Chains A and B, each alone.
Chain A
Amino acid sequence: MIGLAHFLVLGAVLFSIGIFGVLTRRNIIGILMSIEIMFNAVNLNLVAFNRYLYGGDLWGQGDAIFVITLAAGEAVVGLALVLAIYRNLKTVYVEKMDLLKG
């Protein structure tokens, strides 16, 4: 029988994989993809809590919809910034984006 704990553990594993990706990816698009994995882990937790603890309500799923929507907005703005940076600096590697260091 699959319970809430299974989903929470899966969410934790996916979230920490996302953290690893954010901390280690050199490509800025890779960092954005890792962030999307973390959003998905959080959504999984929200829906699992909704299903197993508050089965009659749908607030967890409503929150997950908002998270998906804002993730879409974040991806749009983030990728537009990535392309603007690429136009100016000709790189997508974060260690090359060192204009502030002079």
Chain B
Amino acid sequence: MEAFAFYLMAALATAAAVLVVTERQVFNAALYLAAVLALVAGLFGFLGADFLAAAQVLLYVGGILVLIVFAVMLSSVRDGRVRSQINAQWLPALAVSLAVAVAVVEAVRRSSFAAADVQAAPTTGALGMLLFNEMALPFEAVSLALLAALVGAVFFSRKERPDGAAGDAK
């Protein structure tokens, strides 16, 4: 049962990821990306990371994906329906990605991990303690990065003023 659940989620995630990178309609690719993100959240739950599964759904599926769909709709191109979305270098790209996959799988096959089987426990409280004690410095650094991202997004997405003072010149 456990193995069946894993293989089902893994197969669906892989198929959806392949569709994300090959689908001609960018909007449909965004919907397949939603499937990938939700399935990864399910795999987090499978691994006992309950808080992370919830954060994945809230942040990725509820946040980043909505942003991507917004960007797709705001920059919709008329001829996207007929033209291929894959450029001419797909064969070398396929070789590179296959080489990476084969190298990592071979490295995993050759290495042995001393598995410590621990019972899964609720992680939210312990994760909060970790974030605000040992990980306090990276936590603050990430807050600064988020502030910079916020300011940067506002800067890049503001409208040009008519007197041309807003920076992004035509």
Contacts and interface: CB of A to CB of B under 8 A. Distances in A.
A65 B21 contact: no
Contacts of B98: 16
Nearest to A86: B75
B20 A34 contact: yes
**Majority SS of interface residues in chain B?**
helix
A44 B130 contact: no
Contacts of B105: 9, 12
A33 B29 contact: yes
B13 A10 contact: yes
A80 interface: yes
A10 B100 contact: no
A33 B30 contact: yes
B145 to A, nearest CB: 6
A51 B47 contact: yes
Contact of B142 (A10, A36, A55, A69): A69
A30 B21 contact: yes
Interface in B52-86: 52, 55-56, 59-60, 63-64, 67-68, 70-72, 74-75, 77, 80, 84-86
Interface residues of A, number: 75
B87 A12 contact: no
A97 interface: no
B13 to A, nearest CB: 7
Contact of A61 (B6, B96, B123): B123
Nearest to A48: B47
Interface of A: 1-21, 23-27, 29-30, 32-34, 36-37, 40, 43-44, 47-48, 50-56, 58-59, 61-62, 64-66, 68-77, 79-84, 86-88, 91-93, 95
